[in-house]
């Protein structure tokens, strides 16, 4: 890794929010090895970093599922959550809204209440240590189908009503996994349950699907936020709707290159055109450990790729705060921290 220049150092320290980060995708390679050994999970290599090369989204998902399989009990989830926040805080992240995708664990016999309680335990410890805050979004795994998604949301709502430990930290629901051959609008019943319970709504769409499919999801599911959204600009009508309604897009530029292979290189990404069109397009990490990334380096890479300076990156950070699901007083506090941040020394 080359030494950071002045702008990169300033962007590392700039207070930032990460709204598109899968907590399972933050797992340190050493943690993968240790949890696999503890839980008797066979790995194809003793060096997990060797796994983290992908020629397609589906290949990435296979590795992601392997990493998930090392999470067997509440303590594993607590460790994962603690390390996720302490690692991100070192790179200027002051607030995260992290996805967790429990479908495979629930199918294997784990309890949602224990998963959430474990995550909450680790997050609380990390928050107390770092000052970085984290909220959770329960993601439905499209590989398991819409009925499993509805059951997940209904169980989550029930646990929240019963004040099960940690469930107040789960503020929204989403969906992830492959988009190919999946009609995401069939998840409407699950989103209806979430909406009625006051949960916030987001969803992964547009990583390997069309603008028409994105538009259908917004209309059928009532999404308040869109994760990835790469092809939005292909539809003038969709773009206008998202600009007018200020619907955020949680863009993951490096991930779109190295995981989904939407672009050959970062310089080809549509993010600059998204922002020029007036879209509330934010910058996030997706699966930072699995793509050798952190949000400080992502900001620096974006700035270099698109020729953006300090002021433009501050605007990106402020837009991230706007797109978050914090309350207005919390947003105001974070905006003040961003505006007061020290830029690169000349």
Q: Would you name the residues annotated as active-site residues?
A: 207
Identify the bridge partners of residue 281 per DSSP, sorted by sequence position.
249
Buried b (16+ CB within 10 A) or exposed e, 184-196: bbebbebbebbbe
Cα separation of 278 and 262, whole Å? 22
Structure tokens at 289: 């450990």
Report CA Rg, the chain.
19
Q: Which residues contact 37 (CB under 8 A, 6 or more apart)?
A: none
Structure tokens at 272: 């600059």
Q: How far is residue 275 from each of residues 203, 249, 341, measured CA to CA in Å? A: 20, 10, 22
Q: How far is residue 292 from each of residues 53, 69, 87, 158, 166, measured CA to CA in Å? A: 10, 20, 12, 37, 29
Cα separation of 204 and 101, whole Å? 12
Give the H/E segment covering residue 89: helix 74-89
Helical pair 310-323 and 328-339, crossing angle rounded to 10 deg: 170
Cα separation of 150 and 229, whole Å? 23
Q: What is the DSSP string of 140-185?
A: EEGGG-HHHHHHHHHHHHHHHHTT-TTGGGEEEEEEES--TT--GG
Nearest to 26 by CA among 62, 104, 79: 79
What is the DSSP pairing of strand 249-251 with strand 225-228? Answer: parallel
Nearest to 21 by CA among 296, 263, 289, 223: 289
First vs last Cα of the chain: how many Å apart? 23
């Amino acid at each position: 890794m080359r030494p950071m220049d002045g702008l990169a150092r300033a962007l590392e320290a700039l207070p930032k929010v990460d709204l598109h980060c899968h907590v399972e995708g933050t797992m340190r390679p050493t943690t993968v090895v240790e949890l696999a050994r503890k839980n008797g999970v066979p790995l194809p290599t003793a060096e997990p970093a060797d796994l983290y090369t992908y020629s397609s989204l589906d290949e990435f998902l296979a590795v992601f599922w392997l990493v998930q399989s090392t999470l067997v009990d509440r303590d594993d989830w607590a460790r994962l959550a603690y390390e996720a926040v302490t690692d991100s805080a070192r790179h200027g992240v002051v607030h995260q809204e992290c996805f967790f995708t429990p479908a495979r664990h629930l199918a294997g016999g784990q309890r949602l209440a224990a998963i959430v309680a474990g995550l909450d335990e680790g997050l609380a410890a990390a928050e107390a240590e770092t000052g970085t805050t984290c909220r959770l979004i329960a993601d439905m795994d499209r590989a398991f189908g819409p009925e499993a998604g509805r059951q997940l949301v209904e169980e989550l709502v029930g646990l929240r009503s019963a004040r099960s430990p940690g469930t107040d930290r789960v503020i929204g629901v989403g969906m992830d996994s492959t988009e190919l051959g999946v009609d995401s609008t069939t998840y409407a019943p699950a989103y209806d349950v979430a909406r009625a319970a006051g949960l916030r709504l987001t969803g992964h769409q547009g990583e390997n699907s069309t603008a028409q499919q994105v538009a259908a999801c917004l209309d059928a599911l009532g999404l308040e936020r869109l994760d990835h959204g790469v092809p939005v600009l292909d539809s003038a009508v969709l773009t206008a709707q998202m600009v007018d309604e200020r619907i955020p897009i949680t863009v993951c530029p490096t991930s779109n290159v190295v995981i989904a292979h939407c672009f050959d290189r970062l310089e080809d990404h549509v993010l600059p055109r998204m922002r020029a069109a007036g879209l509330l397009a934010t910058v996030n990490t997706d699966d930072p450990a699995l793509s050798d990334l952190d949000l400080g380096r992502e900001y620096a890479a974006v700035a270099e790729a698109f020729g953006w300076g300090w002021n433009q990156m501050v605007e990106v950070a402020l837009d991230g705060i706007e797109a978050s699901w914090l309350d207005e007083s919390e947003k105001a506090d974070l905006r003040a921290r961003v505006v007061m941040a020290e830029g690169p020394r000349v």
